[in-house]
Structures are given as C-alpha cells and as structure tokens.
Amino acid sequence: MYLKGRIIIKFIILLALCLLAGCHQLDQQSQSISDYKEIYQPVNDQVFSGREILSLNDQVQDLELSYYDEGVQATITDQIKTLQDKHKSYDDGLFIMNPFGTFTQSIYSYLPDPDQDIDKVTYTIQSETSDTLTFEPVNYSQDPSAYEFTMIGLVPGEDNQLTISLYDEEETKLTDYQFDISAPEIQASDYQSKMEVLYDSGEELTDGFYASMGSDQDNAKFSYLYDNNGLIRSELVSDGGRLENYQFLDKKHLLIKVSNNKMAVLNGLGQPVRIYELPELSVHHDFIVNEKKDGAFLLTSNVHADTIEDTISYLDLRTGESQELIDLKEIFPNYFEPVMATHHNRAETEIENYLTDYPDQGLQDIDYSDDNLTLFDEEGNLSNLDWIHINAIDVLNRDELILSSRETSSIIKLSNIFDQVQVDYIIGPEAVWEGTGYEYYLLNPDSDFKPTGGQHSVRFQSNAIDDGLYNLTLFDNNYWRLDTRDDLIINLPQTMSQEFDPEEPDAYSYFYNFRVNEVDGSYDLVQSFPVPYSSIVSSAQVYKGNYITTSGMSNILGEYNPQGQLIRQFQFYIPRWSYRLIKLDLQDFFYENIL
C-alpha cells in the first residue's frame, strides 16, 4: 500500500511538471524525427505504375517540426545514406518524393553506377493539361560511381507520366524507368494551379520559371515555380514566412528567407545545407547578397525598438554571425523625430477622444479593442511606428547601398556603410524633405517627368558607362500615401493616384528606368511604360534583357521585351495578393538543360 501510494504521488508530480512545461500530449508531441528508425514509406496511393517511390512516413509528417533545422536534416541525410547502401546498380534506383520537406512535388533520385557506365540522364514529364518537358538534371553525387539528382516539373494534382532515361557516353540507352504518378495537390488554400493567359503576342519568352514568394498571411509559407504557360511546376514550403527574394550564392546554392528570423541555403537537391538563426532581428521585404557572395544585407526591424522596417543588418554567410549595421533613425534624425512626435500626439488625441465619448470611464477602463483606437494593440501598447518603410535594397561596390522608401516615395543611396555611414543622394519629392536639412542630398531631374509614388524593387543595373553613371530600374506604383505626416502640403501630378483599390479606372503603375549621374548630381528617366495598377505589393525585374513585372494587388504578371512591349500577360487567381514574382534561371541548379 505504501509503495502504491508513492507511485501515485510520483505520477501526480510528473503530470504536474508536464502541464507546467506545456506538455499536453506525452506521445506525438514529445517525439522528434530522430526517434524513428525508418522515416520513409512507399507512396502506394500515388504511384500507379513503375518502381517504388518513397516519401516521409505518416508519423513524421504529423510531427510539428521545422525542416529548416540542422538536426532534422542530419537525420534525413543519415537515413538516405542507409537507403542508398541497399541499392547496388542503376537498374535498382532509389526514388523519394520530397525527402527534405521543401519542394513538395519533387522526386529525389539515386542511381548507383559501380562501373561508371552512365554519361547522361534525362527525364520527361507529360500530363493531360501540360506541355511535355524533358530535363537533363545536374548530378550532385560526390561519388563518380553514382548519379544523384532531384526532379522538378510534376504537375500538381494530375496524373503525370514520368520517364527517366539513362545513356552511356555513346548516347546508347542503358535503361528506362517509367512511372505513372499523381503529384500532390498544392497546399495553399484557394489557389488555382494555373494562371490564365490574358494576352499573348506570340513573341518568344525567356527561358526559366516564374517564381512567387508567398502571398497573404494565411499562405505566406507557400511559394511556386510556374512555367512559361503559367502552370505550377513546383511548390516550395518555408517555415511560415514569405521568401522575400531568391539569391544565388553560386549556381548550386540558393539563399532564401524561411521565417522572419531564419535564413537558409538550399542546394539543387532541395536540401537545406546551411541554416542561419537571427534571434534579435525580423527580416522583411527584401535582402541582397554582396559581390563576393559571402555576406547578405537584410532589411530588418529591431525586435526591441518602437519602430519597424528602418534598419539594415548584415549576415556573414561564412560564420553565421549577424549584426545590425544601420539604423535609419540615426541617419535621418531631423526627419524621424518630428514624425515620432506626431505619432505620440495622435495617440494622445485618440485617448482624449475616447474618454470624451465615454465620460464614465477612466484610463484604467479603456477598451483598447475599440475600433477608434487604431494606434494601440489590445493590451494598450502603442503600435510601432512605420515612419520610412524600406521595401527594397541593392548593393554597389561592396559598401554602397540603394534603398527604396515607400512611405516617403524616395530612393536613398548610402555609402561607407561599414564605418561612418554617408548619405550620397536622395531621389524623391522635394516637399517631403524640405526643412529637414536633407534636401541638400536631392538629385535634380534632367527633364520633366512624373516622380515615383510608393515605388518597389529598385535595382542597380551593372551597365555603368563611367564611375558615378549607372541605371536604376524599379516598379513605380504611382500611388501616393504618406500616413505619418500631418504637416505636409504637396502638389501631386494629376496622373498620381491616391486610390488603394486595384480596380481604380484609368490608373496605371509604371516600369521606370533611371539614368543616375552622381558626378553632376542629376538623374533622368530614360525608359518607362505603363503596367497594370498596383497601389502596393509589386515588383519589376530585368531578366535576360526582358522585363518582368508583377502588379500584386491585381494579381497580374507580365513579361515585356527590351522595348517595353508586352509579350505575355497572366492573371493568377489567389485569395488576396502576391507580394512579388520574378523569373529564375534554374539551369545548373536543378538541371543542365531543358531539351
């Protein structure tokens, strides 16, 4: 009886400790991927013919884990190596669907070749609604007696006929693998897997895949690769955050953002090979790698500050160390301080108005969930001030940065960024900077043209004719909104929209190409053309001589030729909006050629 009582007491203590630690389930929640001897199982319900294809088993998929974790990927690598050792020849290949938890429709392939007979591999994908694609994949095996690669291109939610062909150096076929496989549906809710073609000139498009970077909050973690017909060919799943950008470190390593405080490098197998934790930072909107590809500049918010989207941080990709490099409050104090004072004054006015409306309440009785209290959270904390809203970054000459400020509709260039930061120039409305002491930095326009409004995707074009003379391309939203100033009086051009709604008639956004002359302090608009209107969320890209634009509010993607003439335009159907799409050249990353 005494022993039984002790057991009961121990159980109660254990249960209490577990509840205090938040352990609501003792089985599934406490397990990790390393607890499983085998993490892969056959995909019986999706492969209708052909050799066995494996995938992560149901128990592992039910775990709430991050695949952007070094421990998780180490376990996956060990288990794949164990499976590889069971396969002895190219007639007995290993195939695993999405083994690394990243590219949902991808298939990893391992073909042992002890006699080194294989000289080339191709794979062909056919489905009912898609064009046939044939790829020659990149071999990632470090062992010359094996072929190792990952296949992309399966059409989600459809039956795909997949043929893998192996050839020797004389191009004699060694063997074929043929699969009839149903690729997984995309995971984003209320997405359509194919964009509608709104216009097609018949002119040839550039090679590559249109790449999205997540959209609204509910679907932020899902990004897609679309072919030139607008069909989704792959889904990349993050840890919850929008990717914000894709930056190649070399042809076989790709840097992405996977959550607000985590970056990752993927190889062409789809495996995260480096993980960077950023505990004190929140990455937003954009990042860019330096010329040496050993560091990245990140647009960040300091998690301890009362402002947001106003710092630039540097991530050393060799060591993993990160630091806040620039705080724009310190660069532009004469602009920031009056704006912050306005923020506090508005908050005080909101409280005063609330107490006037509810005279029987005191400060301690305020309901901060009231719709009229827009500057506070529900706990009564003053909202962080978005006073400059940096939404794009690019790097020049190692220590010079180009920044886009949506709130001020300005482009800012900084130099000497690792030491005593200098402001080189500002391109923006004179009225915004007048009286701050920074109007001295404004460049002078060489001709008469409409200024930008809330621009995005400012990019330096490395076609400099001489020092201090270069081009900047951007998406001009042509939308004026400056929410943080009560004092500003500005005369806007008639063609500048103040309407948020993407359905605003007769409103256009623009692709802009500026020629900047730092020597004489001037700039000029050398090319522009209208694109579908988007008040916010948008992008512009120069890609293989063509221009790729995304009007995110209206969900329209366009590819234009070098003269700014539309080649093809797509409408993508998603619940809300997409921040940006660009085009990616995945040659030498996933494949050597598309045949």
Residue 253 belongs to what H/E stretch?
Answer: strand 253-259
User: Could you tell me if residue 2 is inside a domain?
Assistant: no
CA atoms within 13 A on the CB side of 254: 23
pLDDT at 465: 56
230 within a domain of the structure (yes/no): yes
Domain edge (last residue) among 135, 157, 182: 182
Classify residue 497 as left (phi > 0), alpha (psi -120 to 50) or beta: beta
More confident residue, 25 or 491: 491
Q: Is residue 4 part of a domain?
A: no
Structure confidence at residue 387 (pLDDT): 99
Does a structural domain hold residue 7? Answer: no
Q: pLDDT for 184-201, tens place per residue?
A: 999 988 889 999 999 999
The reply to whether 260 and 316 lie within a common domain is yes
Predicted pLDDT at 218: 73
Q: What is the mean pLDDT of residues 377-383?
A: 93
Distances from the Cα of 94 to the Cαs of 56, 99, 155, 554, in angstroms?
14, 11, 21, 44
The domain that holds 277 is classified in CATH as 2.120.10.30
Distance from chain centroid for Cα 189: 18
**What dihedral angle (degrees, nearest 10) is formed by the CA atoms of 184, 186, 187, 189?**
-140
Return the SS3 of 3. helix
Domain CATH for 74: 2.60.40.10
Answer whether residue 421 is part of any domain.
yes
Q: Which pLDDT does position 11 carry in this prediction?
A: 38
Q: Find the mean pLDDT for residues 324-351.
A: 98
Same domain? For 164 and 310 the reply is no
What is the predicted pLDDT for the residue at 25? 37
Q: Print the domain residue range for 574.
A: 196-332+388-594
Q: Give residue-wise pLDDT tens across range 139-170.
A: 999 999 999 999 999 999 999 999 999 999 99
Asked if the structure places residue 9 within a domain, the reply is no
Going by C-alpha positions, the residue among 263, 271, 261, 234 that lies closest to residue 72 is 271
Residues 478 and 571 grouped into a single domain: yes
Residue 350 pLDDT class (50, 70, 90 cuts)? very high
Q: Which two tokens stand for residue 400?
A: 């010079």
Domain tally, the chain = 3
pLDDT, one tens digit per residue, over 503-549 is: 888 899 999 999 999 999 999 999 999 999 999 999 999 999 999 99
Pairing of strands 54-56, 94-97: parallel
97-147 pLDDT, tens digit per residue, is: 999 999 999 999 999 999 999 999 999 999 988 999 999 999 999 999 999
Q: Are strands 422-427 and 390-396 parallel, antiparallel or unpaired?
A: unpaired
In a domain, 216, yes or no: yes
pLDDT for residue 21:
41
pLDDT at position 341: 98
Question: Are 227 and 248 members of one domain?
Answer: yes
- Mean pLDDT, the chain, integer: 92
Confidence of residue 595 (pLDDT cuts 50, 70, 90): confident
Nearest to 387 by CA among 284, 313, 483: 483
Contact 502, 535 (CB under 8 A): yes
- Name the pLDDT band for 463 (thresholds 50, 70, 90): low
Provide mean pLDDT across the span 215-231: 89
Amino acid (1-letter code) at residue 579: Y
Q: Residue 490's CB: how many other CB atoms inside 10 A?
A: 14
pLDDT at 506: 87
Read off the pLDDT band of 44 (50, 70, 90).
Answer: confident
pLDDT tier at 50, thresholds 50, 70, 90: confident
Same domain assignment for residues 288 and 359: no
Burial label, 535 (beta-carbon count in 10 A; 0-12, 13-18, 19+): buried
pLDDT above 50: residue 17: no
For residue 24, pLDDT over 50 is answered with no
Tokens of 153: 């291109």
Q: What is the pLDDT of residues 429-449, one digit of tens each?
A: 999 999 999 999 999 999 999
pTM for this prediction: 0.92
> Tell me, what's the pLDDT at 504?
84
**For the chain, what's the residue count?**
595
DSSP 155-171: PTTSEEEEEEEEE-TT-
The label of the residue with tokens 């190889």 reads 267
Residue 191 has a pLDDT of: 86
Question: Does residue 215 surpass a pLDDT of 90?
Answer: no
65 class by beta-carbon count within 10 Å (0-12 exposed, 13-18 middle, 19+ buried): middle
Last residue of a domain, one of 160, 182, 204: 182
Do both 174 and 219 map to the same domain? no
- 201 and 134 share a domain? no
What pLDDT shows up at residue 347? 97
Name every residue whose Cβ is closer than 8 Å to that of residue 224 and which is 6 or more positions away in sequence.
Answer: 186, 188, 211, 212, 232, 234, 235, 236
DSSP single-letter state for residue 265: E
167/242 same-domain check: no
Q: For the chain, what is the total number of helices (H) and then of strands (E)?
A: 6, 37
pLDDT at 417: 98
| Structural tokens at position 594 | 């598309």
pLDDT bin (cut points 50, 70, 90) of residue 464 is low
126, 151, 182: which is the final residue of a domain? 182
Note whether 32 and 143 are same-domain residues: yes
CA 125 to the chain's CA centroid: 27
The residues pairing with 528 across neighbouring beta strands, listed in sequence order, are 512
**Shared-domain flag, residues 429 and 326:** yes
More confident residue, 63 or 528: 528
Q: Answer yes or no: do 78 and 98 share one domain.
A: yes
Q: What percent of the chain has pLDDT over 70?
A: 94
Q: Does residue 9 carry a pLDDT above 60?
A: no
Is position 246 within any domain?
A: yes
Percent of the chain beyond pLDDT 90? 84
Please give the average per-residue pLDDT across 277-292, as a whole number.
Answer: 96
* pLDDT higher than threshold 50 for residue 3: no
Higher pLDDT, 12 or 256: 256
Q: Domain check: are 411 and 377 in the same one?
A: no
Within 13 A of 69's CA, how many CA atoms are on the CB side? 13
Residue 570, strand partner residues? 197, 557
